[in-house]
Amino acid sequence: MLDIDLHVRVDVDRWIAAQNDLGVCDAIAENAQVGKPSAMTTPRAPKVAGIDSTVPSPPHTAAPLGAPLSAQVSAVPPGTPLQDRLAGWVSDLTLLQELTESLIRTATLDEALHELLRAGAALVGARRGMAVLEPADGLGPASTVGLGLAHAELGTIETVPRSVTSHGRILDGLDPLTEGSLPRPVAVPDLRSEEDLDPRLREVAARLGYAASYALPLATAEAGKLGAVVWLYDEPAEPAERQRHLIGLYGRFATEHLARLLEVERARVRVATVAEELLPSRLPRVPGVQLAARHRTGPRGGGDWYDALPLPEGALGLAVGSVTGSGPSALAAMGRLRASLRAYAVMEGEDPVAVLSDLELLLRLTEPARSATALFAYCEPAARRIVLAGAGHAPPLVVGEHRTEYVETSLSAPLGMLACWEAPSVELSPAPGETVLLYTDGLLRRTGDAMDRAFARLHAAAASVPRADRADPGAVADHVLRTLLPDGPDGPDTAAGDGEDVVLLAARFE
């Protein structure tokens, strides 16, 4: 146990308790006494992580000329080195807590990599950097992001042979390993003084204006090797030992966070792949109508779907729907429901009410705990005639030169909600050049607005389609998505949307 004077211990305890509420600098000011300062309350420069504050000369250092010995002894307050160490520890821990809290709030790999670059640059005292995500298992995804580097500058760095760059040596395992077979950081304090430096690396460094680098592996024993990050200095420099320690701690935490996001991203990709495989691989070509579809799977994988299938006598069946729930079970139910609807459409597609009635009976008998919404339209492109019925689904939207309006469908409950479902169908005749938009509720919920407001926004987005784009149903669908969802269907989830699927099916009649 340290032999610390009682006055020192009490003063340190007061200072630690105060800094928890006030911060390091405020705590020092709060505990400063009025009048002649004591040894423990003398104002000092605040500690900054990675930068040593001014430390007074040790007691054995010679005093300035003319200073008496008594002044030299009294100039060193007792307990000052301990206070400095405590202030440094608290400052470092506070900074690491702030940086890790910012990192943990990131929800995607790109966000996490950018936050890692920003925080690491502050810790090592650099201005620019580059992070390379390249999981060692080869399953991806792989990406490269930069801090203070334009896309062209990142491309310039990538023209350097990877084996001669500091981050490349980490990624390729060309340097000795630490305990546990993990790569070590690579510091190049002065690129200009390196005699054996690769000519291409020297040329790129001179062109981009950096003179030193510090590369950190993104690797832990639990997560494995995920990639590397390198920070670039404008002048010859190298992180101090304390800075290396802090960036090492932060780097290990960042690697674990990236590993979790990596698993989430891989799961999302797998769910999206399954969902796409359950939907039409291509849309049919039927004379008199042009088709386009847009589908985006939410992060949890929902049960929204669409379908378009040619029917006898030149007819066309269009369908959209949504199954309750999310995840693999909802995807499986969506696949079963879509396959059943296709069979019913082939047998009695000219009667949409009969198709949905059969689908409701199947759903009630095979999956009584699940409900679904659906809309089926029987189209005769040559006659520009559509007969449709909906079960708890949003009404279609007709977009044309002279009108943008919702189709008035009958109010009906979703499938599986009533003992016997049946609702009348409606018929409409789109004019030449008009586009009929079928969509799921996920498109409306992604806006984050109340449903009436979301319907109004969808109507406004469809009405604002430029005249030059109205001849292409794909351009119409893209314009609606861009206008309705400024961040895109793959953008950040809204609180109300909760990352639901987005389905939009456009049919333009000639």
pLDDT tens-digit profile of 177-233?
775 688 999 999 999 888 889 999 999 999 999 999 999 999 999 999 999 999 999
Helical ranges in 279-351 per DSSP H: 328-348
- Whether 265 and 398 share a structural domain: no
- Whether 252 and 352 share a structural domain: no
Helical ranges in 64-108 per DSSP H: 69-74, 80-104
Q: How confident is the model at residue 504 (pLDDT cuts 50, 70, 90)?
A: very high
- Whether 114 and 130 share a structural domain: yes
For tokens 């925080």, the residue is 119
Looking at the domain assignment, is residue 63 inside a domain? no
Looking at the domain assignment, is residue 404 inside a domain? yes
Q: Across the chain, what does the average pLDDT equal? A: 82
Q: Considering its fold, how many domains does the chain have in total?
A: 3
- Whether 83 and 117 share a structural domain: no
pLDDT tens-digit profile of 293-350?
999 877 666 789 999 999 999 999 999 999 988 878 888 889 999 999 999 999 998 9
| Mean pLDDT in residue range 62-79 | 47
Looking at the domain assignment, is residue 465 inside a domain? yes
pLDDT tens-digit profile of 249-308?
999 999 999 999 999 899 888 888 888 888 888 899 999 999 999 998 776 667 899 999
User: Rounded to the nearest 10 degrees, how much is the dihedral formed by the CA atoms of 179, 180, 186, 187?
Assistant: -40
- Whether 206 and 184 share a structural domain: yes
- Whether 287 and 185 share a structural domain: no
Q: Which of 66, 85, 105 is the last residue of a domain?
A: 105
| pLDDT for res 89 | 84
Looking at the domain assignment, is residue 22 inside a domain? yes
Model-level pTM?
0.67
| Res. 450: pLDDT tops 60 | yes
In whole angstroms, give the CA distance from residue 101 to residue 105: 6
Q: Residue 16 belongs to what domain range?
A: 1-48+77-105
| pLDDT for res 506 | 97
Phi, psi of 83 (to 5 degrees): -65, -40
Number of helices followed by number of strands (H, E) in the chain: 14, 15
Looking at the domain assignment, is residue 39 inside a domain? yes
- Whether 209 and 84 share a structural domain: no
Nearest to 319, CA basis, from 367, 384, 386: 386
Phi, psi of 109 (to 5 degrees): -65, -45
Residues 6+ away with beta carbon under 8 Å from 15: 27, 28, 31, 40, 83, 86
- Whether 232 and 346 share a structural domain: no
